[in-house]
Chains A and B, each alone.
Chain A
């Protein structure tokens, strides 16, 4: 749209035609980073205070957290592994935000993507890996997209709020997934269609065929697969779509002001549905990647929790695709370091959940952070990190 765009790392938020002045650009990047950084910092401090109250040693805990996430190759591997699905679910939430929609349903879309990928992955024996894995991933994307489209369509045609519908669909997805792998009960209930007959009483699918598995970049024990690369490529694509394509411009315009968008001749309804389809597809892709790259099967214990964490990474990343990657890296590192923290310091890994919750609260309510650090809001702030702005 314009030639004055800054180089990749952190493109400016929002305003479709960025001003050219370098200082202004730097200022905006700084401003966009400020709230997330302060939010994380504040959350860590409060987490430390909570640990002190419970008689734990926060220094030892954070040291353990750090060395668990970055201390050795295995730690780095865990961080990258945890980060991968968060990038995609974060993008899912962020794209919906751009269109002014709150996608709480990434969790359900993730699960539907997992199930669809597994369904393709355990069938079609003898298919070439070059065909099988992409087909399984596409199935995941499609299932997630359909699951995302439903709330979009319901919103447009019936006015049903997407928050309610997506929350409900999370339950439907989760129970549907449990049914597909159901091992049957004691009275001869029929088993689920994807259940592995050799698993006995366990409710899980067989392993996906080798031809559908994403190859390792670093084999176990590191367990890093090509899904990471897919997630990063997807990030660039989504950035391009949102900031460089007409569709992205329409999504952003609808998000900022649906009336103006309508007045400008945009098909607002269609844009809303399309944004939800993209969001659902991204979360579905996350499910496919986790299933084909890491778990190699679906079982009831694989929940869609990363779908909810996507809300955190989207908000922390200020709904910017590259911001989401940074945020996913941070949240992934916290998840990865939790075990080592527990092991070294004896602090329960639950504190990680508390800290992440605080981060979410602070980025969702930036006024708190602004009050704490006495940062004054400029009247025309282009970076107001509110909901999807």
Chain B
């Protein structure tokens, strides 16, 4: 009997706590709700620079992924700071937990009266365009979202990854002594990774048609393929054992694993080199310094900032915006790359940019 009464007492206590919690919450929620639409009305028309509010919705993943989400967010932070906005007020982000939430997460910014929403990754394209059609007063930037039919208020920020990959392949083939080079890549379920890898192969063959290129994609499912540095390292090791002397690592932490394996190998920086991806990985991955000769870059951060700036200036981009791609500086290996290779790379880069040279990659 005693036990039972104690049990009831406990339940009562819990109920009281629960009611208190609800009492705390309840009055606040409705108070907060009407505030949001009021904001929308104030901010949506005209959008003078001072009223700019930039929201970012990530792909499934973290904001500090040292890759895609992070580079895009850095662009938002950069332009937001330049415009004198405060993080959390003038610009903020939502990390997506579940691919089914894209629309809801975008809606969160719509409800809160944001006027620019940046969405990261091709998976968000559908949700982004739907939200754009519903909210013609707002402006959307879709990173990696190729626009088939252009909406007036959507800019699709896309990159020719194959061009960056082509340059990386040309560099690799020029530096290789063994005649074998390798690429360790994230999954081929993601188009930009495929483009990087294909460009790399074509670029290498362009310099040396007889070169042996070993391209390996992570075989796992999409949730594993960018976060598997052990596999990246093991695959890089295997490539080294087969005589490869230049390794291109492209695929988030998986690629980073490959770069670090090369960096730790004997001969790193003298006979063995590695090439990073996306950003200048000299800045983001110090552990790869011993071998990192360059990186195949897609310049996300400045592109995002520049698109927002053009919107603020009253000349918003719509349709596809091709962000710049290219090779990162050689840093400590400036001397290791012969001048004629540098000249050749500059020549290829120019030809790729003006269209007189095609990479050969067909998406």
Contact = CB atoms under 8 A, between A and B. Distances in A.
Same complex: yes
A4 interface: no
Contacts of A59: 24
Interface stretch (A64-72, A152-160, A210-218): A64-72
A186 B221 CA distance: 18
A299 interface: yes
Contact of B189 (A203, A223, A373): A203
Contacts, number: 117
B189 A342 contact: no
B133 to A, nearest CB: 12
A71 B29 contact: yes
A97 interface: no
Contacts of B194: 185-186, 201
A375 B88 contact: no
Contacts of A375: 7, 10
A303 B191 contact: no
Contacts of B29: 63, 66-67, 70-71
Contacts of A203: 189
Interface string B85-107: 00010001011011111011101
Contacts of A66: 25, 29
Q: Most chain-A Cβ atoms within 10 A of its Cβ — which of B60, B88, B95, B98? A: B98
Contact of B108 (A37, A70, A185, A339): A339
A225 B94 CA distance: 26
B335 interface: no
Contacts of B217: 185
A157 to B, nearest CB: 30
Nearest to A181: B189
B50 interface: no
Contacts of B223: 303
B25 A346 contact: no
B201 to A, nearest CB: 7
Main secondary structure of the interface of B (DSSP, over half): helix
Contacts of B198: 186
Nearest to B199: A186
Nearest to A77: B104
A71 B33 contact: yes
What class of interface size applies to chain B in its complex with A? Answer: 35 or more
B189 A300 contact: yes
A58 B120 CA distance: 29
B46 interface: no
Main secondary structure of the interface of A (DSSP, over half): helix
A124 interface: no
A346 B88 contact: yes
B83 interface: no
B189 A182 contact: yes
A178 B222 contact: yes
A223 B7 CA distance: 41
B51 interface: no
Contacts of B191: 183, 200-202
B315 interface: no
Contacts of B4: 27
A66 B141 CA distance: 30
Contacts of A220: 103
A55 B100 CA distance: 30
Contact of B123 (A178, A299, A335): A299
Nearest to B108: A343
Contacts of A373: 10
Nearest to A349: B97
A295 B24 contact: no
A74 to B, nearest CB: 7
A339 B88 contact: no
B103 A74 contact: no
Interface string A21-46: 00000010011001001100100000
A62 B25 contact: yes
A301 B123 contact: yes
B188 A186 contact: yes
Contact of A178 (B88, B97, B189): B189
B107 A74 contact: yes
B122 interface: yes
Interface in A206-230: 220-221, 223
Nearest to B101: A339
A348 interface: yes
A41 B189 CA distance: 41
Interface in A319-356: 335, 338-340, 342-344, 346, 348-350, 352
A300 B190 CA distance: 10
Given A201-B194, A342-B94, A375-B10, 20 more contacts: A27-B4, A30-B8, A41-B17, A62-B25, A63-B29, A178-B222, A182-B189, A185-B188, A186-B198, A301-B222, A302-B100, A303-B223, A335-B98, A339-B101, A339-B104, A339-B105, A343-B94, A343-B108, A346-B92, A375-B7
- Top 8 nearest A-B pairs (CB, nearest first) are A201-B191, A67-B29, A186-B198, A300-B222, A301-B99, A71-B29, A203-B189, A185-B188
